Amino acid sequence: MKSFAKKITLTALAAVLCGSVMAADLQPLNSDTEPNRVDWTELQSKFGNVPALKEGTRLGGVSKTLTNEYWRSLGEGYTAAAKKYGATVSYLAAANEDDQLGQLSIAETMITEGYNALLASPQSDANLQAAFDEAASKNIPFINVNDAVMPLTKYYVGCVQRDNGVRVAKWFIENVKEGGKVAVIEGQPGVYAAKQRTDGFTQTIKDSGKFEVVASVPANWSREQAYNAATNILQRTPDLIGFYVNNDGMALGVVEAVKAANRLGKTYVFGTDGISDAYKSIKSGELSGTVDSFPILTGEVAVEVAVRILGGQEIPRVVSTPQALITKDNVDKFYQKNSDEILKALSEE
């Protein structure tokens, strides 16, 4: 896997050095701080109505995996919005979250087959760069949707990744005033989202002066690996007061480790994404919380952005989408909501 990752990185670098695909016109993207941005709620007021699409417009969705509910929900958003705007969408994913070559092959096939725009959630910051270059050479809009961030992508749609960790850190600061020892279970090493989520949590909670981050280890988005990592941390630090976990699947594995250590109710566990099993766990009093980034709504926004770009509108490089910290205090308000109900709930936060 390491050799393939190196190959992907070198391929992307070679494309840049050859001057392909607008690379000379784009600075490396930090989607959390990029100044050329607009909030998703401002699209209508700033750019007007969504343009009408040409008949037969096809959108290609390239997902990380379909084994994670988050990415299935994103696809539901693509499908709903495509139907609304009169397009068709194909939503395909690699075999697993480590299949970078398979994901690249899907994207390149969609370009060859003449899809009008691609909405892609890369497995790493570099593995789809060659597909982006090819799409740009054919004037096919390529929108990077959430998670990993391609440094030279022209468009990005997603939440502020750093804020996922910051929101959880602030909860600890406000609710565990005496402080204590905490740990982080990271996602895949080197992926932008994992790094930003971890840094946001770690720096914010350290700055409070009352908490010690005793461990920060990757679990590669794996529930089993997260369970094992959390078990080891709890054995070394039996007085641990909390975990921040980079996604909900891993967080549910951490909950099982906390239960096995008889620390339920004593060691808080927060995840990220807002999948339905996380909501159920919060309601049952096990998972302490999650930061929901509303994947269905994000998918709808991403398709709207694609349609606006296809219609000739000059959309900013980053379109930021919503997120909210979900705990037992507001879980009922956000649980199993459609887009309109989410908007109402967000307005009340």
Reduced to 3 states (helix: H, G, I; strand: E, B; else coil), residue 199 is helix
Q: What is the pLDDT of residue 5?
A: 44
Q: What is the pLDDT of residue 147?
A: 85
Strand order across the beta sheet in which 289-292 lies: 211-218, 180-186, 242-245, 268-273, 289-292, 324-326
Q: What's the number of CA atoms in the CB half-sphere (13 Å) around residue 286?
A: 18
Q: What is the pLDDT of residue 37?
A: 98
Q: Which residues of the chain have pLDDT under 50?
A: 1-24
Out of 3.40.50.2300, 3.40.50.10420, 3.40.50.740, 3.40.50.300, which CATH number does the structure's domain 161-292 have? 3.40.50.2300
Q: What is the pLDDT of residue 266?
A: 97
Rounded distance between C-alpha atoms, residue 28 and residue 163, angstroms: 20
Residues 6+ apart with CB under 8 A from 69: 275, 276, 277
Q: What is the pLDDT of residue 17?
A: 41
Residues of the chain with CATH 3.40.50.2300: 27-159+295-321, 161-292
Residue type, 334: F
**33, exposed or middle or buried, with CB in 10 Å at 0-12, 13-18, 19+?**
exposed
pLDDT digits (tens, 9 = 90+) for 138-154: 999 999 999 899 999 99
144: phi then psi, degrees, rounded to nearest 5: -80, 115
Q: What letter would DSSP give residue 267?
A: S
Rounded distance between C-alpha atoms, residue 98 and residue 111, angstroms: 22
Partnered with residue 88 across adjacent β-strands are 58
Rounded distance between C-alpha atoms, residue 73 and residue 63, angstroms: 11
- 8 Å CB contact between 122 and 8: no
Rounded distance between C-alpha atoms, residue 346 and residue 79, angstroms: 23
Integer-rounded Cα Rg, in Å, for the chain is 20
Q: What is the pLDDT of residue 102?
A: 97
CATH hierarchy code of domain 27-159+295-321: 3.40.50.2300
| C-alpha distances out from residue 78 to 74, 117, 247, Å | 6, 12, 21
- 8 Å CB contact between 54 and 25: no
Residue type, 183: A
